[in-house]
Amino acid sequence: MSVDADFPSVLSPRLSKAKLWAIVPAAGVGARMGSDLPKQYLTMQGKTVIEHTLDRLLTLPTLEKVIVAIGKHDGIWQTLLSASSHRVLSTIGGRDRADSVLAGLNALKTLASDDDWVMVHDAARPCVRLPCLEKLIQKVVEHDCGGILAVPASDTLKQSSADNIVSCTIDRQEIWQAQTPQMFKVGQLREALAAALEGGYPVTDEASAIERAGLPVMLVEGRRDNIKITHPEDLPLAEFLLGQQCND
Ligand SMILES: Nc1ccn([C@@H]2O[C@H](COP(=O)(O)OP(=O)(O)OP(=O)(O)O)[C@@H](O)[C@H]2O)c(=O)n1
Ligand SMILES: C[C@](O)(CO)[C@H](O)COP(=O)(O)O
């Protein structure tokens, strides 16, 4: 995918000192995928899921470095070419996704300023497209407000009661499905995430910790093909989407 040469520097003059970093949580075991290998190491078109994901992020010329949070007993990461990139560092993740993201933020302490930006992107989302990454960065920097890629809900949504009986239909007019990347100021995210985890609050994405801290989160409309590989049927779908995108 070609970098859009006309894309303005990611940071306006007002924020020209701020840098952009990325954290890729990749310490999961992929239980829902049910594969022998953690899903980030399954292969599509000759490359692992995480290599496709990193290739997408590293297309951003202004991205300083990516911190990949890997599992404590991960024996595969160091065998990948991506692990030797000068723009990629790794750290040991934690029990839950939020712990892994916090580990990445702590690894950034010696590299990034609190006022730098960081985008957190799931290793399991290899189909994210460069224009969507650029749109998120542009909106966040322009408004100086953290934001996330998301898509408005397009299915009718049902609330379930016991025994999987519908208890009600949810008005989907204001419902969005959050994706990643999720982009925030390094210091704000580290503080919000640490506070949420210390408080025992459920944190399934970075935005929920930021919301809990009372800070705004901008919804930036992305694409529905930015899928997260979670269940077995997601892998062939992701491979198809990658193939389609190559023809764009
Ligand atoms: N302790 C964890 C758990 C998840 N992740 C990462 O967070 C992303 C999204 O999480 P999810 O899709 O839930 O991955 P898994 O936790 O591996 O999947 P499962 O819940 O099915 O085990 C994945 O890239 C995963 O590797 C992580 O870094 N650390
Ligand atoms: C962060 C995320 O991808 C936003 O939709 C999602 O919350 C991750 O959930 P998971 O259960 O950890 O995959």
Digitized pLDDT (tens) for each residue of the chain, 248 residues in all: 333 344 445 555 445 689 999 999 999 999 999 999 999 999 999 999 999 999 999 999 999 999 999 999 999 999 999 999 999 999 999 999 999 999 999 999 999 999 999 999 999 999 999 999 999 999 999 999 999 999 999 999 999 998 999 999 999 999 999 999 999 999 999 999 999 999 999 999 999 999 999 999 999 999 999 999 999 999 999 999 999 987 66
Q: Is 205 in the pocket of ligand 2 (CB under 6 A)?
A: yes
Give residues with Cβ within 8 angstroms of 234, minimum separation 6: 33, 227, 228
Nearest to 18 by CA among 94, 116, 92, 99: 116
Please name the residue whose Cα sits nearest to atom 4 of ligand 1. 28
Judged on CB neighbours under 10 Å (0-12, 13-18, 19+), 182 is buried
What span, in angstroms and rounded, lies between the C-alpha atoms of 24 and 104? 8
Query: Looking at ligand 1, which residue's alpha carbon is closest to its atom 16?
Result: 28
Q: What CA–CA distance (Å, rounded) separates 143 from 184?
A: 12
pLDDT of residue 246: 76
Half-sphere exposure of 6 (CA within 13 A, CB side): 1
**The predicted structure's pLDDT at residue 17:** 83
Q: Whose CA is nearest to atom 10 of ligand 2?
A: 204
Is the minimum distance from the CB of 122 to ligand 1 under 6 angstroms?
yes
Distance of CA 204 from the midpoint of ligand 2 (Å): 6
What pTM was estimated for this model as a whole?
Answer: 0.94
* CB of residue 204 inside a 6 A radius of ligand 1: no
Q: Which two tokens stand for residue 244?
A: 């389609």
DSSP per-residue string spanning 61-102: TTEEEEEEEE-TT--SGGGSGGGG-TTEEEEE--SSHHHHHH
Ligand 1 centre from 186 Cα, in Å?
21
pLDDT at 16: 62
ipTM of the complex: 0.98
DSSP-assigned letter for residue 196:
H
Q: Which of 182, 186, 191, 193 is nearest to 217 (CA)?
A: 182
pLDDT on residue 7: 43
Q: Tell me the CB-side half-sphere exposure of residue 110, using CA atoms within 13 A.
A: 4
